[in-house]
Structure 1
Amino acid sequence: MALLKFTTYTAFTLSLTGLALYRKHLVSALLCLEGLMISLFTTLATISQTLATATTMTQPIIMLTLSACEAGAGLGILVASSRTHASDHMKNLNLLKC
């Protein structure tokens, strides 16, 4: 159990560090967000198995559903920005421009 906790904590901190430091491309930001969601899903699944109550059993499923929605929205933004700006560089994307 200690190895699983260490692995999920490490994955979360590495993904958060990657999201904070390396934001040059939109794809790398989306991959870091997916790493965050996977580590949170693993943590919630582990907690729900150890507690074994009815209220904690649905939390990993809800988290997985939100992660899939986030991935779909992120890929949609990636395709739209690639078509309009011809790249996925974050500095080219300015949301205040019309």
Structure 2
Amino acid sequence: AFSLSTTGLMLHRTHFLSALLCLEGMMLAMFIAISALSTQMNTTSNLSIPMFLLTLSACEASTGLALMVATTRTHGTDHLKNLNLLQC
């Protein structure tokens, strides 16, 4: 799932929202892998790591959506090729 999301991020870079969805897929794949690993190891000390990753994923999603709304309002589109983020 992680490699599929990475491939989607590399190939479908037309819209900002599709890039955000691919990043969310990557974070979800990492969450599932770390959760499965901590469950398989049968340790209770590693159970907080997947929750921390899920919290970071939620923060990343909200920040990404806020950036998408801001760029759509200023540029009128969410196409990535029209955005030059180095300009003010």
Shorter chain as denominator, the TM-score bin is over 0.9
TM-score if structure 2 supplies the norm length? Answer: 0.95
Q: Which runs of 5+ in 1 are unaligned?
A: 1-10
Aligned residue among 19, 25, 30 for 2:15 = 25
More helix by share: 1
CA distance in 1, matches of 2:70, 2:85: 13
- The TM-score normalised by the length of structure 1 is 0.86
- Moved >4 Å (runs of 4+): none
Cα separation, 2, equivalents of 1:47 and 1:82: 39
Deviations 1:23-74 (A, max 9, x none): 1110010000010011110001101111122331111001000000100000
* Runs of at least 5 residues in structure 2 that lack an aligned partner in the other structure: none
C-alpha RMSD of the superposition? 0.9
